[in-house]
Amino acid sequence: MIPLSEPFLGGNEWAYLKQCLDTNWVSSAGSFVEAFERIVATYSGAGHAVAVNSGTSALHLALLLARVQANELVLLPNLTFVATANAVRYVGAQPVLIDVRPDDWQMDLDLVEEFLDKSCELQEGSCMHLPSGKRVAALLPVHVLGGMADMDRLLAIAQGWQLPLIEDAAEAVGSRWKDQHAGTLGTLGCLSFNGNKIITTGGGGMLLCRDEDLARRARHLASQAKVPGSPYYHDCTGYNYRLPNLLAALGVAQMEQLDSLLRKRQQLATTYREQLPGVQFQKTHPFCRPNHWLTTIYTHRKEAILQFLQARHIQARSLWTPIKQLPMYQECLYISRENHSQHLFEHCLSLPSSASLTETDQLRVIEAIKAALLRFSA
């Protein structure tokens, strides 16, 4: 079986894990947590990085820190992994789903501006959605498959409407806008180290921010809001979101290899594009240097190719069912003209993109896709 995206644990993972076990430092109090935070903060250029137990936890904390309240509105793309929308619900807020662009598959900023210009008004520093009377509390773009929307334009929109910008950079570890790392452009950024992401701690995430006070509050909320030095005195409702030392140890080892893993994925992406001329791939904005997490194609023969690959033990995958199609989000406001999210969901296919994919195996995938296209295009 050629997997879609498998972890690459080829560095100091064993050594650092052993160090945790040998010294009994397994919980979040261990020193790898701080080391992991430091290495991610340095690598990304974020002022501060707070390690948490998942990307979803990072999103939840980010929304809390941006003071998104119950019954407020948060703008996010309709085409994303469900965690983005779920985190909005965790704080009692309501997603406003924005359709994506047909070329780069990112949140369509024309639609964002149209929504704000046509139906919202700035009232005493708050962006009010006039038809519902609700406050728009944040913009929550997702760097879909490691690509990015036009971040300069998005930052200008956020500033103009005085909205916090929270980046769901769960899929974008290693991606950059000009020289800035994904998740460091807005107010807060969220990374994921889930098993199928570009680097992994088994499960884990990181909250990025520039503001020291935000980072301090994030750590506080993530550790049950316990007041340090106190006899179990907690000053608000906190969460058990800290990353255990065992997993942070994996994180440090993974970060040491990130650049070589990115080079490998870039190479795979280039080879797919060179060897499959005439096939349509995800486009990227010229200012974005994507991490090539999953090379993904657009094809009118998605189901047939998927089955053809499966029969040859090659794992490929659809994009996510659009959020608007999920039962718990059907009532959400959806801003769209042509429902590109649904169309892309029906036509896109992610190809094997593991850093461990050999040249021979990649050629097997390429030959299989060529054969499938030949058979099903007739």
Instruction: Catalog residues that contact ligand PLP under the rule CB under 6 A.
Output: 54-56, 80-81, 83-84, 142, 168, 170-171, 192, 194, 205
Nearer to ligand PLP, 30 or 204 (CB): 204
CB of 68 to ligand PLP, least distance (A): 16
Tokens for 282?
């995800």
Nearer to ligand PLP, 145 or 249 (CB): 145
CB of 205 to ligand PLP, least distance (A): 5
Nearer to ligand PLP, 28 or 54 (CB): 54
Q: CA-to-CA distance for 142 and 136, rounded, in angstroms? A: 17
Nearer to ligand PLP, 107 or 276 (CB): 107
Nearer to ligand PLP, 28 or 194 (CB): 194
User: To 10 degrees, the CA torsion angle through 226, 232, 233, 236?
Assistant: 40
Nearer to ligand PLP, 127 or 316 (CB): 316
CB of 192 to ligand PLP, least distance (A): 3
Closest CA to 167 of 194, 136, 143: 143
CB of 54 to ligand PLP, least distance (A): 3
Q: CA-to-CA distance for 246 and 44, rounded, in angstroms? A: 22
Nearer to ligand PLP, 72 or 168 (CB): 168
Tokens for 335?
């801003």
CB of 275 to ligand PLP, least distance (A): 27
Nearer to ligand PLP, 164 or 205 (CB): 205
SS3 of residue 206 by DSSP = strand
174: amino acid identity, one letter: G
SS3 of residue 83 by DSSP = helix
**For residue 139, what are the contacts with CB-CB under 8 A and spacing of at least 6?**
74, 75, 112, 154, 157, 158, 163, 164, 165, 166, 186
Chain residue at closest Cβ approach to ligand PLP = 55
Contact 167, 185 (CB under 8 A): yes
CB of 26 to ligand PLP, least distance (A): 20
CB of 111 to ligand PLP, least distance (A): 19
Nearer to ligand PLP, 60 or 134 (CB): 60
Instruction: State the Cα angle at 274 between 270 and 280, rounded to 5°.
Output: 90
CA separation, residue 123 to residues 25, 65, 136, 167, 269 (Å)? 51, 22, 11, 25, 47
Residue 304's Cβ-count burial label (10 Å; 0-12, 13-18, 19+) is middle
Instruction: State the Cα angle at 87 between 83 and 88, rounded to 5°.
Output: 125
CB of 193 to ligand PLP, least distance (A): 7
CB of 84 to ligand PLP, least distance (A): 5
Helix, strand, coil shares of the chain, percent, nearest 5, are 40, 20, 40
SS3 of residue 286 by DSSP = coil
